[in-house]
Amino acid sequence: MEKRTDKNSYTILFAVLMVLVVGAILAYLASALKPTIDVNKQLEKQQNILYALGVNENDEKSVAFVSTDKVADEFDKYIVKQLVIQGDDVRVDDTAYLIDIKKEQASAKNPSYKRQLPLFLGVKDNKLSYIVPIRGKGLWDAVWGYVAMDENMTVTGIFFDHKAETPGLGANINQRFFMDDFIGENLLDTSGKFAGVDISKSNADPINIDKLDNEVDAIAGATITGDGVSAMIRSELKVYSSYFINLKKN
Amino acid sequence: MGLFKDSNLITDPLADNNPITIQVLGICSALAITAELEASIVMSIAVLFVLGVGNVVISLMRNIIPSKIRIIVQLIVVATLVIIVDLVLKAFAYQLSKTLSVFVGLIITNCIIMGRFEAFALANRPWRSFLDGIGNSLGYAMILIIVGFFRELLGSGTLLGMEVLGNPIDKTGVYAFGYENNGFMLLAPMALVTVGIIIWVQRSRNEALIED
């Protein structure tokens, strides 16, 4: 006798019910938890921006952010101004850190769209830093970060993160040994043109003594993630370079 | 008594029925994430949880799952479990969820999970399936940790991020005698070679495992 569960009608009924039940559970959970998750994400952005500015609780080797209960106050204290650059227009916007870089990059594919570029001005130890969010592609998924620079486009602090790079290899871009290498690197070449910083596999300078070579040492086994980060720095910071050049003129 | 008569379900996968070296399941993640010991341990714990719970769920549903679409049903169960855990962690333990998020995709596609659902949970009672899940993920964990240990030690000279062999840049510890890290250990092929060596050692010690 044919088993009850082998019938086509049963199979279809089971599939329909399963999809409805699973879909309902996941949809309910996702919408119920969304507000909490959104708050977490906002706090994380603030923590990341402060990290790049150098406001963090690092000890010798760890990556430690300002704790989540303090971060909103610290953010107001250290970030003195948030700007949005759009074409030639620069405006002050206190929610600039919430601008979705991914959406802006997608809209910018349309040539008539002028991309909104957020820029955060932070002061730590009486030194002014300009912090810029960047976003690009690694091996598996998105990589992003925040770069803090002085007015000469010399990196004063940096933070990278990733969605799904390989643990142990590309995932190490958010570790100190990698991020700290960028500090002091100049994004301009010797003639003052924008050049970026390359993650180089043939770099004969693993301790990174030469800060003017526009290169840092790569992570072994993470070639494509490294190339992605280089490309992200080059393309995402280039769009800001005209602002910095104007800054010097004035 | 019932508790102990099934103890072979836990012990077999640790030795003569190991999911990686004998059943050859879960090789992909064993290659992908064993460059560091810490990632190996995190992945092992995640698989332990998902396989234990997933096996019980599939076993409870085993009499109502239509055989024609059973693989899809299994896939939905494991994906749902993993996504629920991911969402809850994102809301209530955000930092932890960031560490684990890279493993989510690797867990869903891990063939150990589908393999044990298909081979065991569909035909056995929940308690036995639970033991089978725990046993197999421990067997998986054991190999992952062995491979992770050697790859991190020989590839980076560290264990759990601590410099156990000295500092390669300042030339301290064994590096003072001209030792160099083997960067090849960090690449996936060496994980396969390491797993191969484990299989070789295991089979030469137990001839019953050698096929014709």
CA atoms within 13 A on the CB side of B13: 25
Angle between helices B94-108 and B37-60 (to 10 degrees): 70
Residue B138 has pLDDT above 50, yes or no: yes
Alpha-carbon torsion, ordered B96, B101, B102, B106, to 10 deg? 120
Cα B73 versus chain centre, distance: 22
Contact list, A5 vs chain B (CB under 8 Å): 63-67
* Contact map slice: B 144-173 vs A, CB within 8 A: 152, 155, 161, 169
Query: Does some domain include residue A19?
Result: no
Residues 83-112 of A with CB under 8 A from B: none
pLDDT score of A20: 95
Work out the angle at residue A72's Cα, subtended by the Cα atoms of residues A70 and A74, and round it to the nearest 5 degrees: 65
A6 touches chain B (CB under 8 A): yes
The answer to whether residue B18 scores a pLDDT higher than 80 is yes
Classify B201 as helix, strand or coil: helix
Q: In 3D, which of B43, B4, B1 has the Cα closest to residue B131?
A: B4
Q: What is the pLDDT of residue B141?
A: 92
Q: Is A147 domain-assigned?
A: yes
Query: Taking all residues of chain A, what is their mean pLDDT, rounded to a whole number?
Result: 87
A2 touches chain B (CB under 8 A): no
Q: Is A128 on the interface with B (CB under 8 A)?
A: no
Q: Are A10 and B65 in contact (CB under 8 A)?
A: no
Domain count, chain A: 1
In the block, tokens 């341990």 appear at B41
Question: Cβ of B101 and A164 within 8 Å?
Answer: yes
A74-92 burial, b at 16+ Cβ within 10 Å, e below that, comes to bbeebbeebbbbeeeeeee
Chain B window 25-64: which residues touch A at a Cβ cutoff of 8 Å? 32-36, 39, 42-43, 63-64
- Minimum-distance CB partner of A221 among B39, B68, B187: B187
pLDDT of residue B2: 53
**Are A168 and B73 within 8 A, CB to CB?**
no
What letter would DSSP give residue A154?
B
CA–CA gap between residue A17 and residue A248 (Å, rounded) = 65
How far apart are alpha carbons B190 and B204 in whole angstroms? 21
**Predicted local confidence at residue A2, as pLDDT:** 58
Residue A3 in this model has a pLDDT that exceeds 80 = no
- What string of DSSP letters covers A39-84? HHHHHHHHHHHHHHHT-S---SS---PPPTTTHHHHHHHHEEEEEE
Contact at 8 Å (CB) between A196 and A105?
no
Residue of A nearest to B82 (CA): A26
Nearest neighbour of A167 by CB, restricted to B33, B72, B155: B33
| Closest-CA residue to B151 (of A165, B143, A139, B107) | B143
CA distance B57 to B77: 8
Across the interface, whether the CB atoms of B67 and A5 are under 8 A apart is answered yes
B-chain CB neighbours of A161 within 8 Å are 98
Does residue B136 surpass a pLDDT of 80?
yes
Judge: A168–B87 Cβ closer than 8 Å, yes or no.
Answer: no
Cα dihedral A188, A189, A192, A195 sign? negative
- The first and second tokens of residue B39, run together, are 């990632």
Q: Give the strand pairing for A215-217 and A198-200.
A: parallel
Higher pLDDT, A42 or B2: A42
Which of B91, B105, B155 is nearest residue A164 as measured by Cβ atoms? B105
Structural domain boundaries in chain B? 2-201
Q: Give me B62's structure tokens.
A: 């085993």
Q: What is the extent of the structural domain holding A90?
A: 40-249
User: In this structure, is residue A33 part of a structural domain?
Assistant: no
In Å, what is the CA distance from A87 to each residue of A90, A196, B135?
Answer: 8, 21, 61
| Gap between the Cα atoms of A217 and A178, Å rounded | 8
Give chain B's mean pLDDT. Answer: 85
Start-to-end CA distance of chain B, whole Å, equals 38
Judge whether A53 and A78 are in contact, CB under 8 Å. yes
- Hey, what are A14's tokens? 């089971």
pLDDT at position B4, please? 62
Structure tokens at B194: 């390491």
pLDDT given at position B1: 43
pLDDT tops 80 at residue B94: yes
* Substitution target from B68, B154, B158 for chain A, most A beta carbons within 10 A: B68
Is A199:A206 a contact under the CB 8 Å cutoff?
A: no
- Residue reference for tokens 């030792």: B179
Q: What is chain A's alpha carbon radius of gyration, rounded to the nearest angstrom?
A: 22
Q: Between A232 and A210, where is the model more confident?
A: A232
Q: Residues of A with CB below 8 A from B92's CB?
A: 36
Query: Of all residues in chain A, what percent are helix, strand and coil, respectively (each to 5)?
Result: 40, 25, 35
Is B132 part of the contact surface with chain A (CB cutoff 8 Å)?
A: no
Portion of chain A with pLDDT greater than 90, in percent? 26
Question: Has residue A34 got a pLDDT over 60?
Answer: yes
Q: How far apart are the first and last CA of chain A?
A: 89
Q: What is the pLDDT of residue A205?
A: 74
**Winning range, highest mean pLDDT, from A169-178, B12-21, B63-72, B126-135:** B126-135
**Which of A61, A163, A168 is the closest to B33 by Cβ?**
A168
**To probe the interface with B, which of A17, A22, A60, A180 has the most B CB atoms within 10 Å?**
A22
Q: What's the rounded Cα separation, in Å, for the pair A175 and A177?
A: 6
ipTM higher than the 0.85 cut? no
By the CB < 8 Å criterion, does B105 face chain A? yes
A37 closest CB neighbour out of B36, B65, B91: B91
pLDDT class for A229, splitting at 50, 70, 90?
very high
pTM beyond 0.80, yes or no: no
pLDDT reading at A101 higher than 50: yes
In a domain, A7, yes or no: no
Q: What count of CB pairs under 8 Å joins A to B?
A: 90
- The amino acid that residue B92 corresponds to is F
Structure tokens that stand for B38 in this block: 């810490």
Backbone φ and ψ of A113, nearest 5°: -85, 130
Is the pLDDT confidence value at A28 over 90?
A: yes
| Residues with Cβ within 8 Å of residue A241, at least 6 apart in sequence | A153, A187, A194
